Amino acid sequence: MGDKTDVWQGTLTLMVLRTLEIMGPQHGYGLARRIEQTSGDRLMLNYGTLYPALLKLEQEGSIRSRWGVSDNNRRAKFYELTKAGQRQVRKATADWEQTTEILARFLAPSEEA
């Protein structure tokens, strides 16, 4: 398998929101592992990137946090999607779908060649 890559700029928010939408409340470590797993272990998620993103999403009202106990019986902060976060994930998903459709046009083999 090739080297892991860093998370692309502008995609982390969508990955976090979508993971919380699918998986429900998650603590930071579990969220990071799930994002890496979903990528087929092709992404490397830096905690110095994840936690500021979680803080920003919480300040924006897209997620909320609460303290709880993890599977290994340790105190952990769990994050969950809010109603505003549900709206944001729908909009961000639509935006990325449009972006990938546009990029696909540029990456498709040229018919003029």
pLDDT digits (tens, 9 = 90+) for 2-46: 566 667 767 899 999 999 999 999 999 999 999 999 999 998 888
Spatial contact of 87 and 72, defined as CB atoms under 8 Å apart: no
Identify residue 89 by its one-letter amino acid code.
V
According to DSSP, the residues that pair with 64 across neighbouring strands are 80
Within a domain: 26: yes
pTM of structure: 0.84
The pLDDT score that the predictor gives to residue 20 is: 98
Distance between CA atoms of residues 45 and 5, nearest Å:
9
Tokens of 27: 């603590």
Burial classification of residue 16, based on how many CB atoms lie within 10 Å of its CB (0-12 exposed, 13-18 middle, 19 or more buried): buried
Report the CATH number that the domain containing residue 36 is assigned in CATH. Answer: 1.10.10.10
Within a domain: 112: no
Burial classification of residue 19, based on how many CB atoms lie within 10 Å of its CB (0-12 exposed, 13-18 middle, 19 or more buried): buried
Q: Percentage of the chain with pLDDT > 90?
A: 73
Tokens of 49: 């990137």
Within a domain: 27: yes
What is the number of structural domains in the chain?
1
Distance between CA atoms of residues 88 and 94, nearest Å:
10
Within a domain: 113: no
> How many other β-carbons are positioned within 10 Å of the β-carbon of residue 86?
14
Within a domain: 99: yes
Q: Which residue range(s) make up the domain with 57?
A: 5-107
